[in-house]
Amino acid sequence: MYDSGPMEHNTAFVFPGQGSQYAGMGKDVAAAFPAARRVFDDIDAALGFSISQLCFEGPDDQLKLTENTQPAILAVSSAIHAVLEERGATRRDVVAGHSLGEYSAIVSVGGLTPADAATIVRMRGRFMQEATPVGSGGMAALIGPTVEEVTSICEEAAQGEVVSIANINAPGQIVIAGTKASVDRAIAVAKARGVRRALPLPVSAPFHCALMKPAEERLKSLLDDAPFKDLWMSLVSNVDASPIGTSTAVRNALVRQVASPVRWVESVQKMVSMGVRRFVEIGPGAVLTGLIKRIDPSVELINVSDVPSIEKFLESMV
C-alpha cells in the first residue's frame, strides 16, 4: 500500500512528457548499463518493434509521431530509473510526471511494469492523434499572462468552438488547445491585449482539451483492463494536483488527464507544501528542471538524463 506519509517529504522524482524527445536519447545509457538495456528489450518485445532503435537512431520524423514519442520517452525514463533502482539510488518521498510523464512516474513506484505502460501509452498516443482530423486542431503558448487572463482570452476567442487552457507549465507560461480557428483567434486576442508572446506550437493534435474526449473514452476501456497495482508511495496527479496512490485512483486520474489541463504549477507547489526541497528530473532533456526553477527558484534541481548525469547522481547518493 502506498504511503501518503507525514510532512517529511524532502525529495521528488519527476518525469518529463512529450516534447523532451530527441534522436539519440538513451543510447549511451543502454550501452553502459545492463539494467537499462533490459528495460528497452522488454518494451521492444511488448510493442513488437524496436522502439529502442527509434530512440537511439531516429529518424526524427518517426520519433515525432505521437504514438511513437510517448512509448519512446517512457522507455528512456524507465530505463534510467531502473539503473538508479539497481544501484539503490531511489531515495525519494513523492513522484510526479508531466502528462505522459505521469506513466513513467507510476512505473517508478510499482504501479505498472515498463512493458505494460509502454503498450498503454502507444495506444494513448494513437487515440489522441485520431481524436481529431489532422490539421483541425491546434495549440499555442502564451507567455506573460495569468491563468485568469488566459481564461478570459479563450472565452472571447471561442465563438462556439473549443479553446481552453491545456497546460499551466510555469508562472506566465500557459499553453492553450482547441480548434485551429479558435486557437488562431486566441492568438490574435492575446496580441491585441498586449500579451508579450503568443505563438502556435508545432503539435500534431490539440492535447488536454475537450476535443480529446473521444481519446479519453477509448483509453478508459484500455485502462480498465490494465494490470495496475497500488503505488509504493504518493503520486501527485496532473489532473487534481493532489497525492494519490491506490490503483483505482491512479486509473481514474489517467482517464481524466487526457481531456483536462496539466496543472503542473499547482502540482509542484503541492509537492513543495509537502516538504519537497529537491526535485530530480529523470528522463530525456531538462524541460521540467527549467519549469520548476521558474515555479520555485529556492528548490534544489537535479537532472538525470544520460551516463554522465547518472554517474554524478550516483556519486552524490553515496
Give catalytic residue positions. Answer: 99, 208
Instruction: Record the cell numbers describing residue 241, joined without a space.
Output: 494536483
Strand partners, 170: 173
Cβ neighbors of 48 (< 8 A, separation 6 or more) are none
Cβ neighbors of 256 (< 8 A, separation 6 or more) are 216, 239
- Taking the C-alpha atoms of residue 89 and residue 83, their distance in angstroms, rounded to an integer, is 8
Return the amino acid letter for 18. Q
Cβ pair 107, 78 in contact under 8 A: yes
Measured CA angle at 287 (ends 42, 113), to 5 deg: 20
Compute φ and ψ for 212, nearest 5 degrees: -90, 5
- Taking the C-alpha atoms of residue 45 and residue 286, their distance in angstroms, rounded to an integer, is 28
Instruction: Record the cell numbers describing residue 32, joined without a space.
Output: 553502459
Compute φ and ψ for 191, nearest 5 degrees: -65, -40
Residue 103 burial (CB count, 10 A)? 30
